[in-house]
Amino acid sequence: MTKAWIQAFRLRTLPLSLACIGMAGFLAAAAGKFNGLLFALCCLTTVLLQILSNLANDYGDSVNGADHSGRKGPQRAVQSGVITANQMRIAIVLFSFLSLVCGLFLLWAAFGTDWKALFLFFGLGLLSIAAAIGYTVGKKPYGYMGLGDISVLLFFGIVGVMGSYYLFTQRITWNEMLPALSCGFFSIAVLNVNNIRDIESDKAAGKYSIPVRIGKEKAVTYHWFLLVAGLFCAILYTVLNFTSPWQFLFLAVVPLLARNGMAVSKKPVHQLDPFLKQMALSALIFVLLFGLGLLIT
């Protein structure tokens, strides 16, 4: 049973969830505002939210029919019966509670008795929990309407990076929007690989992801756009804030992104699953190289 729960947590998705926190941490360190306790709490809260999202996705797709025998990806816990729907509902409630409690500790550590900031970020936290659950759970899950990409851009990009950066620095400028968008675009690329892989099973289940709506050929073009847009935002930020050639260290990730794009372009959908993990790791490597370039200038 322990193995079943670990598989349901989908640990391979965690590097992606930590990428936006890492980006915020590097930007804060470059500004001389890094705080180890806040970073650790940010990471823990994000991991809990990601696991919550994965559990809710397992439950929601099983209940709504997107997980079935014709699906190309790994078999899910509720669909296979190794975890019952009731057990998964309990786990969703538990991780919602843990995410909320950890988030409250994070906000208290960041803001103390600044009640205005506390309530604002508490609202964002509740929205994050609702977004994690509502992607596939409920009568009208937004993931089934093709809105998952927008949610990923917001929570793995703009809110994830800029919101976390504010926790460190108590300030924010439009300057941080560019690296936030880079994280967001690369995160959408991970989702897009997943959705292209599942395009036929999603179509049969009435899950109208972007690839289902526009077709595989255009979804491949969209994938290349996401990869190029993520790089472009990082390059533009570096040009606007240039102090040393080391800041372009992140360009070393280009071969990994190109490999992912070529795989999505040429491989049949049933062979795309390994490139989900590869894209997630590429996004994390991008963040590490971007941050290292900032710190050694």
Domain ranges in the chain are 2-295
Residues 265, 181: Cα–Cα separation, whole Å:
23
Residues 13, 143: Cα–Cα separation, whole Å:
17
The alpha-carbon radius of gyration of the chain (Å, integer) is 19
Strand, coil or helix: what is 83?
coil
Is pLDDT of 113 > 90?
no
Is pLDDT of 39 > 70?
yes
End-to-end CA distance of the chain: 49
pLDDT of residue 184: 96
Mean pLDDT (whole number) for 105-127: 91
User: Which of 16-20, 26-30, 132-136 has the lowest average pLDDT?
Assistant: 132-136
Mean pLDDT (whole number) for 77-101: 89
pLDDT of residue 72: 52
Quickly tell me which residue has 């994390």 as its tokens.
284
Question: Largest alpha-carbon pair distance within the chain?
Answer: 56
Residue 248 burial (C-beta neighbours within 10 Å; 0-12, 13-18, 19+): middle
Mean pLDDT (whole number) for 74-88: 79
Give residue-wise pLDDT tens across range 148-190: 999 999 999 999 999 999 999 999 888 899 999 999 999 999 9
Residues 143, 165: Cα–Cα separation, whole Å:
27
Contact present, 19 and 186 (Cβ < 8 Å): yes
Other beta carbons less than 10 A from residue 170's beta carbon? 12
Give backbone dihedrals phi and psi of 125, rounded to 5 degrees, phi first: -65, -45
Give residue-wise pLDDT tens across range 269-287: 989 999 999 999 999 999 9
Is pLDDT of 122 > 70?
yes
CA distances from 182 to 41, 44, 237, 269 (A): 23, 22, 10, 25
Is pLDDT of 40 > 60?
yes
Output the DSSP codes for 133-153. HHTT-SSS-GGGGT-HHHHHH
User: Which of 68-77, 181-190, 229-238, 287-296 has the lowest average pLDDT?
Assistant: 68-77
Residues 60, 206: Cα–Cα separation, whole Å:
13
Residues 71, 218: Cα–Cα separation, whole Å:
21
Residues 20, 180: Cα–Cα separation, whole Å:
7
Hey, what's the torsion of the CAs at 132, 137, 140, 143, to 10 degrees? 50
Give residue-wise pLDDT tens across range 244-255: 999 999 999 999
% of the chain surpassing 70 pLDDT: 95
| DSSP letter (8 states) at residue 31 | T
